[in-house]
Chains A and B, each alone.
Chain A
Amino acid sequence: MNTSAAIKVADLRKDYRGTRAVDAISFDVPHGSITGFLGPNGAGKSTTLRMLVGLTAPTGGSATVLGRHYTELVNPGRRVGVLLDASAQHSGRTGLEVLRLGAMMMGLPDRRAEEMIEKVGLSAAESRRRTGTYSLGMRQRLGVAHALLGDPSVLILDEPANGLDPAGIHWMRTLLKEFADAGGSVLLSSHLLHEIEVVADELVVIGRGRIVARGAKNDLLAGSGVAVRSTDDEGLAAAMRAAGVPFTDHPDGGFTVSAAAEHIANIAAAAGITLRELRTADDGGLEQLFLRLTADDAREDVRS
């Protein structure tokens, strides 16, 4: 592996009969990181991921995994774990059989299937039921088990948290963090913003096929400013105005300020005002960012 990134997407495009579903998307997934791929429904996330693994032919641009086009990887299941749709399983096969088929194709021993069943928290009895009887949450676990079968160094997961209960979501988060801590790279799409905000290092946000934001999560969230409350909000407002610090009223009282927390603390101290609260404005955090960035592209009017 002599590439700087586990996944490289460059100028990727897809047209469907005159409609541009994916429009010149470029981003990297660095080694050992979790990159969240965010966007409202229909933004082009799934199309992008399908192009990445060779299931959909791009109209233009390129996508490489571990330095190669996915279709040129040798026995790709041993390098890249992919879960695109947990429901895409033969309903007449048992969960265990689905994994055994995968293990067989990749050239892995049968017991690997049982190990993965255990790893994703499905019981032995559940693994012997046909997948047609599975809940969406169980299918997601089975899909993750399948993605992990070949002991890959890269994971590509489309909406893996979909259908999981809160305990399942927590489990998924832990699993992905461990995977990345062990040096693995993850590209994970979601419209569940909270999921990605907690787990991702890097973010790629798309709307209507275009990238609307991209970068380290902390950088993207830093723009939210600082939330402050005091025992004398009127006095604090006057002091901040005098200091030339831009701020807005917070709907729950206090202010959201675009300045360093220390600077605000100094202003308050100089004016003799007691602060009750001073923290990074993370209310909604990424959600606010996400809604703002995608407001023009979303189907619903989400502007608040």
Chain B
Amino acid sequence: MVKWDLDSQKSMKGEAPRQVVELIAELVSEGLL
């Protein structure tokens, strides 16, 4: 499990695999996060 800081674009807990980071970026660009 990863806890992600959307403001700093950094993991707060756990390690985020590249695919997860890309998915988060995609969701942010679509305004869903």
Q: Do A and B bind each other?
A: no
